[in-house]
Structure 1
Amino acid sequence: MTKKLFLFITGIVIGGNLPAQENLFDLHETPYSCRGSWMALSAYREEGREKLYLRDVCGRRLWQNNRVFLLEPLLSDHVVSGMVFYTEAARIVAENSSGRMEFTFESPDVLRIRGKNNGMRLTLTAPYDASSLVIPVARGQWRLQMGGFPHFVFTALRGESQLVKGSRLTVNMVNEKYQRKEIEMVIEIFPDSTGLFEAAIENYYAGWAPQPAKYHLPFDDCVKKLSDDFETWCRHTPAPLKGYEKTWRLANYINWSCIVNPRGLIDRPMMLSSKNNMHALWTWDTWFFCIATSYSMPEYAWNACLFHARHQDPVTGLIPNLVTDVNYMWGFAYPCIWGWAIRKMIEHHPPIGTPENLKKIYDPLCKATDFWFLFQDDDGDGLPQYNHTNDSGMDNSTAGDVGMSIEAPDLAAYLVVQMDVLSEIALRLKRTKEAKVWKQRADTLLNKMIRELWTGTQFVARRTDDNQYNGQSRSVLLYMPLILGKRLPEEIRNTMINDLKHNGMFTQVGICSEHPESPLYAEDSYWRGPVWSPPTYLIASGIRECGDTAFAREIARRYCDNCVKNGFGENFDPFTGKSLKDRSLPWTAAIFIILMEDFLKH
């Protein structure tokens, strides 16, 4: 079966037949971007038709409308409806009844566009400020000054272009238009006599100057260069299992395309938590990315692991729970699984654990650990507390419904592991006295956690001031001490594992974030029901360390099989497996690769 197209999606040929092929991703769910870029393209169905937007994933647009420009196909001066999207890692195609537009990246900062039998209209759609301006540079070229946001340059490379709205304005005129919400930027480009147009959109953060050699790489060469980069990334990730090939490729694309180049506070290549709406660096997301890339990209993994140490508060040792290119969020103290992640990275790639590397991480990890005992233990009983369930990473967990602050078993377990890791690192660095102290502190906290938070049948999260807990909560947070493996007494770990096996919390999709029979369970409720990837991996890892490899493997298999069917959503419906919230999240993709490699292959 063939479909008449103007060009091949792979190995570009103008005119000809293309064998029908399956898209790599759904552009409505997964953005089109590339490694290093701060730009992304996404499709939305609005007003009864498909629309394509260029999005800016800078920190200033976090949780705002980040759709900067609407890109519409034109026939004469009329917008053409009925776009169909074809997607691959190195290019996307937007086809309609009269022609098509193709998009690729010449470099992370330059989006290249080629059109056949169509023109294109670019319309400003994102929030702007009073200093937004359109500045003509040369024929067919305009600087699109976005005020306090990163800026753009539009350049027509082939065809005829015109500025329809947004002609050069004085600052006073801009201010007046801004007050009336009338600022507009509209550029149109039309094909030449051969039916083709080409254009470039460049994104820049600070200064920009015209460079005659820019944008001279042929479009097809841009596609080839980008494809080679993606294939190189794929070759440096663990190979897929049979039946997982397509899903593995999508996982790699999501992770590869969510990396951004250094800018502002981000001083090295880092993987954003998403290029949809959550385009920032959350700490525990980063740890999972580090583990997933540690197999055969150890340099990237270790540099990413050190990133948050670079931004650690020097007084308290707190790691900011969120970093963007322009700001921090200090309001929450995210899960302290840093030590556990370092241990996993060294397991995957032992050369990571060199004395040189461990010296760099030891002091920051010590400070990050002590933070919880010095600043998150108001009653001074040695059991650190959460001041908000956001601190746990499980933002609206039912364990916190008793009221803040709470002394939670997951936090204590993470800290026990982290102090065990600090003891191991200290021994490698020949700091034997410090190693002994960390081991003693870990043992003390483990005993206190069991004495204060284990009821005899389950762990609970107790309110700090009066030891009350939410008896209705059946949150996955209460099972997180399984991360301790055989550090837990045998009776406790067996009770918890048997509960998960038989009490209905483990569905065909995975481990629910709240038991389905709990009165607090709710569908599509964030951490009150859906299946999430972090606890899946953490619990499976702990269960395997407890010795129940078959159950750990089954947890991993159900998770990975659901990703094959439903993609890489932020979380999943525990019964249908449907992706919920953000439909394209790198940590979900990263954990798919880890579980496939560590649990299903070996």
Structure 2
Amino acid sequence: MKINIENISFSRYGSFLSVSYYKEEKELGKGLYIRNIRGGDEDSGDFLLAEMLEDGVLVNYGIDMEPERLKLTGKKGEIELIISEKNEIRIRGKNCSLRLTLNNQSYDHIISHENNNWEFNSYSKHIKSMFVPLSGKTVITAPWNEERSEKVQAEICGESFECVLHFYKSVYLPKEKYKDFDLSLEEIKKEFSAWLESFPVPVKYKEENALAAYVLWNNTVYSEGVLTHDAVYMSKNWMTNIWSWDNCFVAMALIENHPELAWAQLEAFYSLQDESGLFPDYINDRYASFSCCKPPVHGWAVKYMYEKNPEFFKDKLEMIYNMLSGWTNFWLTYRTHKNDPIPKYYHGNDSGWDNSTVFHDGGPLESPDLISFLILQMNYLSELAKELSLNDKTEFWKNKSNEFLKILINEFWNGEKFISKKIENNKKIPVTKGDSLISYIPLILGKLLPENISDKMISGLKEDGRFLTDYGLATESLKSPFYNSDGYWRGPIWAPVMMLMTDALYRTGEIEFSKELSARYLNLVHTGGLAENFDAKTGKGLRDKGFAWTSAVFLILNNSFERTNE
């Protein structure tokens, strides 16, 4: 498998280490950076700039990236890099030099240790790295200026050379012996091969399917610090956190073949769930953020997962009930106003559709997608309560679900579509700005919706030149004055929306339209890669090019699409 490092950073399962190639100017210029992605996405974690020299002169090089190895090839020399362990990078080269330059900030320095080892110490990145030369000649450049090194460079060269970079927070623990480089390389290759083989091999889009599986493997980090479970980050390019709805789509893709890892994506948030029932918006190894939250898509997702792998969930039903009831009660208790039982979004980020036009004038906002997610979640809670013999809760949640279904239809359906309402001076004002696809999320209710309403909504989705394009569904109508081809949630196609809508249409009975949208999404990834989102008209991949939930939805739809066409 050949991978473009400009789209997907080089890493491996479990590691917080990542290698990225930047074409744009960075702190030390363009080029290849060894990164430490701990601490979340507020800092890209650029730690060391890696450069190739031949005869003492910087050279351009080609990059060959495979899941197990990164290879740089110059005019006459070459360098190979592997992440041999989660906190260890092995590098070897021949007929050239490797120069490592520290991304220097206040107090950063390098200090000599025994055996010609040198410790990079980055105060700003909260990480240290021991540079261990195994063969070759080493030159260190580190002029001292009162309290830090002005510049820190380590260069290693020779007809052949090899070195190790150990990363740690506190102290370096020396190794008595290192595995042979080629043996480590082979072990990584086998690890990824086993991962890839765990996923079904589709008839169509085999390369994209393998790359999507790689992105999930590559984007996973081990539990550390605040992260109580192994987590599939959205990306190791820059969105280096796990978010509380992104995690659901990833878990759905993993539930059949890697159920423990799938469950870990949810349990990581359950372990940090607030007493109010609120999930963190996102988590990384250093902190969990509660500044915003994400929509209650979890009931829909867990039920989907249960249907795919019921045996796995047999001993988890009580935990799921506690998790989802707490999460539901948060919305019913802390996001409602006095004498008004309808939950509200406070910010676009709460919905996941950060800058959708329904939030054009801010919040609080009563939105039909939020009500619909809660209806499904309360229905599922009723089912769980029945299985757990919680008879009073079985009826309670069923009645609540029915109550909210009536509210949704009576107060938010205007005869043409579902509308959102902004709360302003204790009045509810219908949102009229734009034409967002978020208004069509209630289709996830399937047969719970009256047929005349679902028929009208499906007709709206099929309307020529509105949402439907050759590649899927635009998040803002192409006819809207707010449509922007790279406008985040004001136009581009997004994987989670395609997953929700294809599932919704299937459950509504619109099976052929569901299949058609699946086919368009699969072709979209074939055209635009595994990007964060896509230009709705051209299919071009936008923003981050190595996104986990894009990969997850591709794996789900590529395989389920084939099964439904057998």
TM value normalised by structure 1: 0.90
Instruction: Report deviation, 1:341.
Output: 1.0
Counterpart Cα distance in 1 of 2:354 and 2:562:
30
The number of residue pairs the alignment matches comes to: 558
Instruction: Report deviation, 1:584.
Output: 0.9
Counterpart Cα distance in 2 of 1:586 and 1:312:
23
Output the aligned Cα RMSD. 1.7
TM-aligned CA distance change 1:96 to 1:74, over 3 Å = same
Counterpart Cα distance in 2 of 1:380 and 1:589:
43
Partner residue in 1 for 2:434: 473
**Structural mapping, 1:252-271, within 5 Å:** 252-271=213-232
Counterpart Cα distance in 2 of 1:275 and 1:577:
23
Instruction: Report deviation, 1:361.
Output: 2.1
**Structural mapping, 1:185-584, within 5 Å:** 185-191=152-158, 195-213=159-177, 216-237=178-199, 239-314=200-275, 316-354=276-314, 356-464=315-423, 465-504=426-465, 505-584=467-546
1:271-328 CA-partner distances (Å, limit 9, x unpaired): 11110111011111111111110012112212222110100112x1110101111112
Counterpart Cα distance in 1 of 2:338 and 2:417:
24
| 1:50–1:83 contact (8 Å) kept in structure 2 | no
Instruction: Report deviation, 1:45.
Output: 2.3
Segments of 4+ in structure 1 off by > 6 A? 47-50
* SS of equivalent residue, structure 1 residue 118: strand
Partner residue in 2 for 1:14: none
Structure 1, gaps ≥5 residues long:
1-22
Counterpart Cα distance in 2 of 1:107 and 1:404:
47
| 1:71–1:121 contact (8 Å) kept in structure 2 | yes
1:71-109 CA-partner distances (Å, limit 9, x unpaired): 0012233222x2111111111211111211111121111
| 2:476–2:483 contact (8 Å) kept in structure 1 | yes
Instruction: Report deviation, 1:352.
Output: 2.5
1:57 aligns with 2:37: yes
1:415-436 CA-partner distances (Å, limit 9, x unpaired): 0111111111111111122111
Counterpart Cα distance in 2 of 1:503 and 1:398:
21
Instruction: Report deviation, 1:50.
Output: 6.5
Moved more, 496-505 or 24-33: 496-505
TM-aligned CA distance change 1:494 to 1:112, over 3 Å = same
Instruction: Report deviation, 1:47.
Output: 6.9
Instruction: Report deviation, 1:362.
Output: 1.5
Counterpart Cα distance in 2 of 1:557 and 1:166:
59
1:229-249 CA-partner distances (Å, limit 9, x unpaired): 111111222x23223111111
Instruction: Report deviation, 1:223.
Output: 1.3
* SS of equivalent residue, structure 1 residue 426: helix
1:76 aligns with 2:55: yes
Counterpart Cα distance in 1 of 2:136 and 2:504:
60
| 1:472–1:518 contact (8 Å) kept in structure 2 | no
Partner residue in 1 for 2:129: 152
One-letter identity of the residue aligned with 2:140? L
* SS of equivalent residue, structure 1 residue 433: helix
Moved more, 31-40 or 344-353: 344-353
* SS of equivalent residue, structure 1 residue 68: strand
Instruction: Report deviation, 1:63.
Output: 2.5
Counterpart Cα distance in 2 of 1:552 and 1:183:
60
| 1:306–1:361 contact (8 Å) kept in structure 2 | no
* SS of equivalent residue, structure 2 residue 76: coil
One-letter identity of the residue aligned with 1:138? E
| 1:483–1:542 contact (8 Å) kept in structure 2 | yes
Counterpart Cα distance in 2 of 1:496 and 1:153:
60
| 1:283–1:308 contact (8 Å) kept in structure 2 | yes
Instruction: Report deviation, 1:211.
Output: 2.4
One-letter identity of the residue aligned with 1:348? K
One-letter identity of the residue aligned with 1:453? F
Instruction: Report deviation, 1:166.
Output: 5.5
Partner residue in 2 for 1:85: 63
Instruction: Report deviation, 1:46.
Output: 4.7
Within the candidate set 104, 119, 135, 1:143 is matched to 119
Instruction: Report deviation, 1:66.
Output: 2.1
TM value normalised by structure 2: 0.95
Counterpart Cα distance in 2 of 1:166 and 1:253:
42
Counterpart Cα distance in 1 of 2:532 and 2:2:
19
One-letter identity of the residue aligned with 1:364? M
Within the candidate set 107, 114, 121, 2:92 is matched to 114
Structure 2, gaps ≥5 residues long:
none
Counterpart Cα distance in 1 of 2:121 and 2:218:
26
One-letter identity of the residue aligned with 1:324? N
Counterpart Cα distance in 2 of 1:248 and 1:477:
28
Instruction: Report deviation, 1:600.
Output: 3.3
Instruction: Report deviation, 1:140.
Output: 3.3
| 2:110–2:142 contact (8 Å) kept in structure 1 | no
Moved more, 424-433 or 521-530: 424-433
Q: What percentage of aligned pairs have identical amino acids?
A: 31
Instruction: Report deviation, 1:587.
Output: 0.7
**Structural mapping, 1:121-132, within 5 Å:** 121-125=99-103, 128-130=105-107, 132=108
